[in-house]
Amino acid sequence: MFSFILAALFVSAQAHSAHFKLADKFIGSDFFSGFDWKTFDDPTHGRVNYVDQQTAMATNLSYASAGNTKFFMRADAHTVVSDDARGRDSVRIESFSAYDQSVFILDVEHMPAGCATWPAFWSFSQSSPWPQGGEIDIIEGVNLNTNNLASLHTIANCTMPEERSQSGQTQSTNCDTNVNFNQGCGTSLTQSNSYGSPFNSNGGGWYAMRRTQDIGIQVWFWPRDSWRVPLQVRYPFIFEHIGFGTDNWGEPDASFPVKECDYSTHFDSHKIVFDLTFCGDWAGNVFASAGCGNSTCVDFVDNNPDKFKEAYWEINSFERSREVMASFILLLVLSCLPSLLALPLEKRDDNIPARVPYIFPEAGTDSLADSFRARRTNGVLLDLDGVLLNSRPVAAGWNEVFGAIRSNNTLPGDMRELLILRTAAINNAAYQWIQHEPEGRAEGLTTEQLLFVRLTPPFGSANSSTITQSLGPHLSAAMIYADEVALNIRVSEETFNSLRVFLNDTQLVDAAATAGGYNWVSRFTVGLDIDGKANVPVPIPQG
């Protein structure tokens, strides 16, 4: 059986589509060291004055949030622009590094919006002259647009089929910049909150772009409130060390295949760009029909600083994952084999021998054993009970204490089970997890939440906003509390007070009893190898 599974995994690794592993991550102040602030004249002839990093920081046009969890880039929204100025102060940044076959994931909460604005998140080649090496526009729009436009701009002989596997609407098929006034080959996203003010009102979302030589270039968008967001996108830190694929991401919003556009001829390594210009070749040319009033675009930009308060990027994170070879995937599969083999465990007791014998008295012949049966599903003793009955005083005390914790606990059921499951995950107590995952589901914990509890590294407080988003405030506080009880024993005032917001004094005692008690359970079940699970990884929850 083992050799069959191993052979199947080997074939799977060889045949598997591309796999990616984190290579670069930018959060908060990381942007200041990873990107270059450009000051040249706008190539698209916008009414803009791009400033250097020092000026941008001094004038609050570029900054990291107080907790260093966000990065902001904005336009000036205070100054009337003089006629002889280059334009309104703004920011254009380019990555110092250039990248080829990769997956890029942008978690963005707010993008520039409003009349005369032309923001973009895109990439371009360092080859000269442009468009040698290609350009990929991931986020782009102008004025009051609500639907994002993803496009390619290339040298000649690059076209896209009118019909292809994408959810967006094809706007043009010839990517050659010398055709159709450099319209490029664009796809308009169908989601009306993929750009501009509707995007911002919804809390933003995630954009991802994948580029590989064999398939081409794809762009995905997931709104902040979408249930379709892949785990690899919503919780990237879980996959930092193991990598991920994109097979479960669904149909891309925009797809640019290589059938009629040779990848190696038209695309090479690209730098990443975030910018915000005004008017220019696109926003300026359509300004009169954009519903922005009767003035010219330039007059609007110069004389209405208060209209640019929404002209800013608010970025939670930007990550680049590189493609890794099949040999790495096979190594990864082999390293994860114990976890994979643990997945089929469905029985809550397999009756695998422990380090001491199980004692299972017949029903009705032993009052202590029957007291355990009274708490068990269908009155069936667990392997844990069979081990405990080797020491009757311990068994009696155990049954009383954990009977109270499990049956008379005043905590919300989902919080109680999260404390137990998180403790099992931290302590690698597979038996404890197997017993309580069904209980957690019965109390309302979703598969996504269980995955989060199982896979998030200890002390996820560094990602507290992500934890809260997945679990909600009360379960988020409980999970951080469980981590500190298991690993520090001492609980910080900050963590305890976060839990106190949701619990009264009785419930706080119950929380301490649950977290502390189930750390004892973990050590007891692992130490005595109950059900032979001491060396079995905690299973990964399945949908």
Catalytic positions are 135, 140
Separation CA 476–CA 58 (nearest Å):
37
Residue closest to 262 by CA, chosen among 169, 134, 130, 139: 134
Cβ atoms of 51 and 59 closer than 8 Å: yes
Q: What whole-number distance in Å separates Cα of residue 3 and Cα of residue 75?
A: 61
Measured from the Cβ of residue 145, the count of other Cβ atoms closer than 10 Å reads 22
Q: Are 380 and 373 in contact (CB under 8 A)?
A: yes
Cα gap 543→531, rounded to integer Å: 25
Cα 507 to Cα 247, 441, 476, 511, distances in angstroms: 44, 21, 16, 6
By C-alpha distance, which of 254, 246, 249 is closest to 167? 254
| Rounded Cα gap, residues 205 and 192, in angstroms | 13
Tokens read off for 297 = 């675009």
Please tell me the total number of residues recorded for the chain in this structure.
543
Strand, helix or coil at 24? strand
SS3 374: coil
Taking the C-alpha atoms of residue 326 and residue 323, their distance in angstroms, rounded to an integer, is: 10
Burial class of residue 324 in the structure, from the number of CB atoms within 10 Å of its CB (0-12 exposed, 13-18 middle, 19+ buried): middle
What pairs with residue 120 in β-bridges? 140, 275
> For residues 120 and 137, is the Cβ–Cβ distance under 8 A?
yes
Do 246 and 20 contact (CB within 8 A), yes or no? yes
253 neighbors 484 (Cβ within 8 angstroms) = no
Helices (H) and strands (E) in the chain, counts: 19, 18
The answer to whether residues 249 and 220 touch, using CB atoms and an 8 Å cutoff, is: yes
